[in-house]
A and B are shown apart, each in its own frame.
Chain A
Amino acid sequence: MGSPISTTLLPSSLSPIVSFRILFRAGSVDDPRGREGMTYLTTAMLAQGGTRSLTYAELLEALYPMAARIDAQADKEVVVLLGECHRDHLQRFVPLLRDILLRPRFDPADFARLRDEAVNYLEKQLRANDDEALGKAVLQSALYEAHPYGKPNVGTVQGLKALKLDEVIAHFKAHFTRESVDLGIAGGYPEQLAVDLAKELAAGLPSRSTERVTVSEPRLPRGIEIVAVEKPCIATALSIGFATSLTRAHEDWIPLLVANSCLGEHRTFNGVLMNELRGKRGLNYGDYSYLEHFIQEGGSTFPVTNIPRRRQYFSIWLRPVPHRNAPFALRGALYFLDRTLRQGIPEADFEATRSFLKTYSRLWAQSLDQRLGYLQDSKIYGIADYLETIQRRLPELTCEEVNAAMRRHLRATDLVVAAVTQDADAFLDPLLAGAPTSVTYDTEGTLPEVLQEDRAIERFPLQVSREKSRKVTPEELFET
Chain B
Amino acid sequence: MGIFPFPFQQRVLANGLQVVAVPFDSPGLAAHWIIVRVGSRNEIEPGLSGFAHFFEHMMFRGTPRYPEDRYHAALKRLGADSNAFTSDDLTAYHTLAAAESLPEIMDLESDRFMNLRYEREAFQKEARAVLGEYNKNFSFPEVMIEEKLFETAFRVHPYQHTTMGFLRDIEDMPNQYDYSLSFYDRYYRPEHCILLVVGDIESDEVFALAEKHYGPWKRGITQIRIPQEPPQVEQRQVALSWQNPTLPILTLGYHVPAFSTRAREMPALDLISRITFSDTSPLYRRLVLEEQIAESLVGGAGDHRDPTLFVIQTHAKARALLGRVREAIESSLRELRESRVDEARLQATKSHLRYAFAMRLDSADSVASILAHILQLTADPGGYEELYATYDSLSAEDLQAVARQVFRDENRTVVTLTAAEVPQEGEAT
Residues of A within 8 A of B (CB): 14-17, 56-57, 60-61, 64-68, 84-86, 88-89, 109, 112-113, 116-117, 120, 123-124, 127-132, 231-235, 237, 267-270, 278-286, 301-302, 319-322, 352-353, 355-363, 366-369, 442-447
Contacts and interface: CB of A to CB of B under 8 A. Distances in A.
B228 interface: no
B225 interface: no
B425 interface: no
Contacts of A66: 351-352, 355
A130 B124 contact: no
16 contacts: A17-B359, A57-B289, A88-B355, A128-B244, A129-B246, A235-B135, A267-B83, A320-B139, A322-B135, A355-B78, A359-B79, A359-B97, A363-B79, A363-B81, A366-B96, A442-B128
B183 interface: no
B125 interface: yes
Given A234-B135, A359-B78, 17 more contacts: A64-B280, A67-B358, A85-B359, A116-B292, A116-B295, A231-B244, A233-B139, A235-B135, A282-B129, A285-B129, A285-B135, A301-B81, A356-B78, A362-B79, A445-B120, A446-B125, A447-B121
B125 A281 contact: yes
A237 B244 CA distance: 16
Given A67-B355, A113-B292, A362-B29, A443 B136 contact: no
A320 B358 contact: no
B76 A279 contact: no
Contact of B139 (A57, A129, A283): A129
Contact of B72 (A14, A270, A361, A368): A270
Contacts of B351: 65-67
Nearest to B354: A67
Given A363-B29, A363-B96, A442-B174, A321 B280 contact: no
A446 B25 contact: no
B364 interface: yes
A276 B29 CA distance: 31
B362 A369 contact: yes
A132 B139 contact: yes
Interface in B97-133: 97-98, 101, 119-121, 124-133
Interface centre among A56, A319, A359, by most chain B C-beta atoms within 10 angstroms, is: A359
Contacts of A67: 351-356, 358-359
Given A278-B129, A285-B133, A285-B136, A56 B289 contact: yes
Interface residues of B, number: 72
B246 A280 contact: no
A340 to B, nearest CB: 16
The 4 A-B pairs at the shortest CB distance, nearest first, are namely A359-B79, A445-B121, A282-B128, A443-B124
A356 B352 contact: no
B125 A279 contact: yes
Contacts of A366: 26, 29, 96, 362-365
Nearest to B358: A86
Contacts of A282: 124-129, 132
Given A234-B138, A368-B362, A445-B121, A360 B79 contact: yes
Interface in B181-207: none
Contacts of A89: 355
A90 B131 CA distance: 48
Contacts of A280: 125
Contacts of B349: 64
Nearest to A187: B362
Contacts of B347: 65
B60 interface: yes
A282 to B, nearest CB: 3
A235 B136 contact: yes
A364 B80 CA distance: 11
A270 B76 contact: yes
A284 B288 CA distance: 38
A320 B289 contact: no
Contacts of A127: 245
B285 interface: yes
Given A66-B355, A301-B83, A359-B79, A124 B246 contact: yes
B136 A319 contact: yes
A362 B81 CA distance: 11
A400 B348 CA distance: 61
Interface string B278-322: 111000010011101001000000000000000000000100000
Interface string B345-380: 001110111111011001111100000000000000
B73 interface: yes
Contacts of B76: 268, 270, 352-353, 355-356
B132 A352 contact: no
Contacts of A128: 244-246
A123 to B, nearest CB: 6
A30 to B, nearest CB: 27
A270 B133 CA distance: 19
A284 B243 contact: no
B127 to A, nearest CB: 7
A175 B365 CA distance: 38
